[in-house]
Amino acid sequence: MSEFKLHCFAESGNAYKAALMLELTEQDWDPVFVDFFKGQTREKEWREQVNEQGEVPVLEHAGQTLTQSALILEYLAEHTGQFGARDAAEKREIWRWMLFDNHKFTAYYAALRFIYCLKESGETDVTRFLRERATAAYRIVDAHLANTPFMVGGRLTIADLSLAGYVFMPEDTGIALEEFVHIEAWKGRIKALKGWQHPYDLMPRVAL
Ligand SMILES: N[C@@H](CCC(=O)N[C@@H](CS)C(=O)NCC(=O)O)C(=O)O
């Protein structure tokens, strides 16, 4: 039996943050497929047994159940001694970016991708609003990366892994990603890391 179990599905960038961390730190882990598109996370039983917040990812380790990708990343950084903060100031900086990611960078992009690409909503006021907000968040991260190879401390940390949740997803959200040259260069640096894998290769996906 593997040491870690990650409840996930390939299209989930939030789960990818944890899956990539497990892979880059060479942990012994197995995915547990969650049939999100058939509504599994909304089932009463799943919420009672796996996550009352009704969200993926969920990490099981040593009798504990952890949810929220940022918290999972923090836990794995502590457990593995990799990609975490070197001191208290760096820890605050990492959390500052992980919170920005959860609130804006990932949140707006993921909602836009879900509605516009996966649910094929067409263009609406909602998709226009989400695209504008996601683009604004991308501009902020791009400007930060103009001066540093990684988000905090000049090396890969869990702040990068949090922000990287959706940046390798292939769907076209209508955001002109070529504008973000520093994000593109940062993606290249992440992709070059030993053990990097695309989300659709790292986590299980239902055959369409
Ligand atoms: N802040 C959460 C967000 C998790 C999240 O939104 N997960 C999505 C899948 S990518 C989900 O399970 N959504 C279910 C729902 O909102 O009903 C995290 O970082 O773990």
Q: Which atom of ligand 1 is nearest to the CA of 34?
A: 12
The CATH number of residue 134's host domain is: 1.20.1050.10
- Number of structural domains found in the chain: 2
The CATH number of residue 58's host domain is: 3.40.30.10
Q: Give 12-35 pLDDT, tens digit per residue.
A: 999 999 999 999 999 999 999 999
Q: What's the pLDDT score for residue 208?
A: 60
- Do 96 and 181 share a domain, yes or no? yes
Sequential DSSP letters for 86-154: SSHHHHHHHHHHHHHIIIIIHHHHHHHIIIIIIS---S-HHHHHHHHHHHHHHHHHHHHHTS-SSSBTT
- Do 55 and 71 share a domain, yes or no? yes
Distance 14 CA to ligand 1 centre (A): 7
- For residue 207, pLDDT over 80 is answered with no
Sheet of 4-8: strand order equals 29-33, 4-8, 58-61, 64-67
Q: Give 61-98 pLDDT, tens digit per residue.
A: 999 999 999 999 999 999 999 999 999 999 999 999 99
Q: What's the pLDDT score for residue 206?
A: 85
- Do 117 and 41 share a domain, yes or no? no
Exposure on the CB side of residue 19, measured as CA atoms within 13 A: 29
- Do 108 and 66 share a domain, yes or no? no
Give the residue whose CA is nearest to atom 14 of ligand 1: 55
Confidence of residue 99 (pLDDT cuts 50, 70, 90): very high
Confidence of residue 201 (pLDDT cuts 50, 70, 90): very high
Q: Residue 67, SS3? A: strand
- Do 145 and 63 share a domain, yes or no? no
Q: What's the pLDDT score for residue 189?
A: 98
